[in-house]
Structure 1
Amino acid sequence: MGYYIDLEKITIDDYRIRLETAYLPPSRMVLKDRLKERFGYFESIGIKNVKELIQILKKKEKFSELQKAECLSGDYLILLLRELNSTLPKPVKIKDFSGISSETISKLENAGIKNTVKLFDRVINSESRRKLAAETGISEKEVFELTKLTDLSRIRWVGATFAKMLSDLEVDTVDKVTKADPIDLHTRVNQLNKEKRIYKGQIGLNDMKIVVNIAKDVPLDIKY
């Protein structure tokens, strides 16, 4: 149980397959080169999953050893580590969510809760949500709204603004995102964006497909 994806459950081969089909910005497209050879090498030296790969790449001594391999280079490994690190979304500050009153933000901060990671453990189930409401004086309804925003924020690339958009469209949990039709959701999100002028441009269909797909990696730990 936890806020983030369990990286131990993503094997090296699983990640290779994901990287093969992933949307990457031009600066990171080199990560798709020689995938079988490079990830086969990681497996050959005993790296079993993404968590282990990140740990090794963060150790200077291990990093130096890896870049000596014929199929690898320092530049490639640096890019790979950046991509791996982005698998885990940064926590969202509670104050960045629109529609949350300053009074509620202040009450949460007084309870030591400033972001979604801190809030996660306090809203994991109905009992913990009731306790938080009683402790802070925030209504159970608002705690429940914050719970859903926290849940959505666990999806990679879903920040405060987009989480609020999904919530407004009643696609307000990770589970609902995984079950959404990306084409329908793309239409609805852009219609909402047109009405409220939240973003300057449109959200692309490919981006929506990516969000729906990666949501499937997020553990459904929050109980509703």
Structure 2
Amino acid sequence: MIGYNELNKKDIERLESLGYKNSVIFFETLSSSDKKTEIINDYGFEPEFIESIHTLIDFTRIQWVSSNFARMLVSAGYTNAKMVSVADADELFSKLDKVNKENNYFKMKIGLRNIKRLVRAASYVS
């Protein structure tokens, strides 16, 4: 599974023991609300954990988005790749810049041109 350091390592290990060792397979599974409910109910995962990992995996499907950048998108108020694909690039840029300044995700500043590319890349997966 992609490294999501802020998530409970034991829960990640449990998912892997259930056969979800690949983020792509797990994302497809979670995209079915019945399967998502089944994983939560049958295996005792917290709904917030499952929602968090589903969101982070969704973002990392976007070209150039790492798990760290996915956390930035969540902090900026975005909940899925579709939201990024229809985002106003200037607004997304401002939000991400603010989040980065507050939380120091990256030392470098992310450029507006890169955010415009991000929005376009998100349209390919949403």
- What TM-score do you get using the length of structure 2 for normalisation? 0.91
Partner of 1:52: none
RMSD, aligned CA: 1.4
List per-residue Cα deviations over 1:60-82 (Å, max 9, x = no partner): xxxxxxxxxxxxxxxxxxxxxxx
How much does 1:212 deviate? 0.2
Q: TM-score, normalised by structure 1?
A: 0.53
C-alpha separation between the residues in 2 aligned to 1:150 and 1:210?
Answer: 19
AA partner of residue 108 (structure 2): G
Question: Deviation of residue 154 (structure 1)?
Answer: 1.0
Is residue 195 of structure 1 aligned with residue 102 of structure 2?
A: yes
Of structures 1 and 2, the larger Rg is shown by: 1
Q: What is the match of residue 7 of structure 2? A: 100
Aligned pairs (5 A) from 1:120-135? 120-135=27-42
Q: Is the 8 A contact 1:190 1:202 kept in 2?
A: yes
Aligned to 1:60: none
Matches within 5 A, 1:154-165: 154-165=61-72
Task: Kindly indicate whether residue 118 of structure 2 is the aligned counterpart of residue 211 of structure 1.
Answer: yes
Larger relative CO (CA 8 A, sep 6+): 1 or 2? Answer: 2
Q: What percentage of aligned pairs have identical amino acids? A: 29
Contact 1:98 1:161 in 2 (8 A): no
Report if aligned partners of 1:155, 1:174 keep a CA contact under 8 Å in 2.
yes
SS at match of 1:121: helix
